Structure 1
Amino acid sequence: MKPLVSVCLTTYNGERFLREVIESILSQTYSNYEFIIIDDGSTDSTKDILSEYHNNSKIRIHHQSNKGRAISLNKTINLSKGRYIAIIDDDDPSKPKRLEKQVKFLEKHPEYGLVGSYWGREYPDNPEKEKEVIKPPTKDEKIRKAFPRYSPFLHSSILIRKKILNKKPYNENLRNCLDLDLYIKIAKNHKLANIPKVLAKQRFHEQQHFANQLNRKKNLRTDSKIKIKAVKKLKLKPHNYIYPIMIYLYTFLPTKIQKQIKKTFKKHFIAK
């Protein structure tokens, strides 16, 4: 039987959480899916972990030299057979009913192109920091209004119609913010939603934090440019330009002044 859903995962040196993420998909209450995994040139024990699943009929594993995230994600989509694409990252596991609830939503609402959900957030390298539940907007209108300030989706929580991704794949020229760029492209012609249930878990950990800090200015500038374009593409009101332009200009300030601004306006000024 042809799978209705293709779960797509790309990983690069994701050994720490990879097994848990894979098991979270194999434990789904929904069963009509295939699971495509691309190892994008990992140098840790990722290959050994994936070898444990070679005999699982639901999983197709591909190894390649390092191509980058966008190219690898597009490859998983090209390899897929399903009507719907479920994205999952190598450190963010899914809750057991994720696919069941999201497939039901898109089957019932053909005007929607993408659906996400609430998600839990935890800090495995900072156990004293409390876990959180992130509740982004659930309705299309409010989701659109959120784009100039923050991303209203967790990448590991989204289910997308494949026919949309065939026409609007991930931007392979982007090294970061490619998920935000994708959401905005989809929003131009399709409605978006979040299911008001926690269906995924997000982790903030040291490896991720180090990579983000290393390219922080560049990431913020790319993020701001995408958000500025969103105001025009989605025909939002002109005042929505203010926040992303402020963040873009902020990246050119001396580090000392940036720290002062961040300390003063921590909850209101700095992008999530």
Structure 2
Amino acid sequence: MYQPLAHTAPAWAAYTSLESAPSPLLRDPHLPLVTVVTPSYNQGAYLRATIESVLTQDYPNLEYIVVDDGSDDESHAILRSYTHEPRLRWLVAGQRSQSNAINMGWARSRGQILAWLNSDDTYLPGAISTQVDALLRHPSAAAVYADAQYITAAGAPLTCIYARPYSPLALLRLEIPAQPTVFLRREIVAMVGPLSMSRRYSMDSDYWARIAHLAPLQHVPALVATYRLHASSKTVSQASGFYAEWLAIAEAFFADPRTPSELQRERPAVLADIYAAMANLEAQNGQPAQALRYFAYAWNLARLRPRMLKFPLSLLEHHMPLGLAARFSAAWGWLWRQRQRMITR
């Protein structure tokens, strides 16, 4: 009954050579099996916290696969300390590719619901139960996503990421979803196929855009995961590497013949919002010339956009790190949520 994804989905045929594994542990046969995959490379400083956040969940039917990408730190010793845990198994990929590590894990997954949790992020208590319940209540949704919280390297809470209701345009504008909160149906992953090996930085956004042509995602108004910011995380150390992929993902979506004409018309505004985000990041990183260049691209595409109002604060932030840009984003998000509550009353 519980076969690896690669044995049942043609799109995953490249991963059909798999090792045998013991039957998954099911403590409640009335609920679906959930497979969580953690890709990891030299994240020994955070790996145990990630593992514990998964294994201490209250959800009864869990399969947990950690795919180590050839770490040479304490990661293997940490993983060996869990040999007594029947829900967890781990393997070594060794290709230095996050997408490949996730694909290897998902190919081996036997769950009806799939997720991946990076080795420096964590689930909050009740995360899996919350998201499984949401998928069961929304049968037309391809996946569910929720709110998350940024934390420091030491685990101290920072700002919350309050997710917005789903729309393909919000997805393309990088407003949703927070990756650690996403749980997907197996049949959707079977149809969409593996994560793209050509996306080093935005493989998640690329995957959500591919899903958007098949079915919607569903927002769950709950805080379910943390997103750790530290010096070596790609979000912090390699922000500029995301830019080209953001634009390529959006352009591919608009070029797809399955994209409805009413969405096609939003292309200039979406690209302007992406350029505005790039301008804000470059301004905060102390690159004013590049920031102004991206700002000009955004202006030429769609004139003034709300995201561009943050630009002066982002320029100031590099010289006076008062957190003004972050406070502006938080205030804007609060106003947006209040407006949505009034609309839905």
Fold shared, TM-score > 0.5 on shorter chain: yes
Aligned mates of 2:199, 2:69 — CA distance in 1:
16
Greater RCO (CA < 8 Å, at least 6 residues apart):
1
Alignment check: 8 A CA contact 2:229 2:236 kept: no
Q: 1:45 aligns with which of 53, 66, 74?
A: 74
Q: Deviations over 1:200-244 (max 9, x none)?
A: 0111111116x754x444321111221333345544233333333
Alignment check: 8 A CA contact 2:151 2:158 kept: yes
**TM-score, normalised with respect to structure 2:** 0.68
Tell me the equivalent position of 1:68: 97
Tell which deviates more after alignment, 257-266 or 93-102: 257-266
Q: Which runs of 5+ in 1 are unaligned?
A: none
Alignment check: 8 A CA contact 2:39 2:67 kept: yes
Tell me the equivalent position of 2:271: 241
Tell me the equivalent position of 2:161: 134
Tell me the equivalent position of 2:40: 11
| 1:207 counterpart letter in structure 2 | S
**TM-score, normalised with respect to structure 1:** 0.85
Aligned mates of 1:65, 1:243 — CA distance in 2:
37
Q: Which runs of 5+ in 2 are unaligned?
A: 1-22, 27-32, 296-309, 315-324, 330-345
Where in structure 2 are the equivalents of 1:214-229 lying within 5 Å? 215-229=238-252
Tell me the percent identity. 22
- Runs of 4+ with >4 A deviation: 231-234, 245-252, 259-263
Aligned mates of 1:227, 1:112 — CA distance in 2:
22
Q: 2:119 aligns with which of 70, 90, 95?
A: 90
Residues 247 and 28 of structure 1, relative CA distance in 2, 3 Å threshold: closer
Aligned mates of 1:118, 1:126 — CA distance in 2:
17
Q: Deviations over 1:163-202 (max 9, x none)?
A: 2112222111221100000011111111102211100011
Alignment check: 8 A CA contact 1:8 1:87 kept: yes
Superposed displacement of residue 112, structure 1: 0.4
Q: 2:312 aligns with which of 256, 264, 268?
A: 264
Aligned mates of 2:254, 2:208 — CA distance in 1:
13
How many residue pairs get matched? 262
Residues 103 and 223 of structure 1, relative CA distance in 2, 3 Å threshold: same
Q: 2:174 aligns with which of 122, 146, 150?
A: 150
More strand by share: 1
Aligned mates of 1:125, 1:9 — CA distance in 2:
20
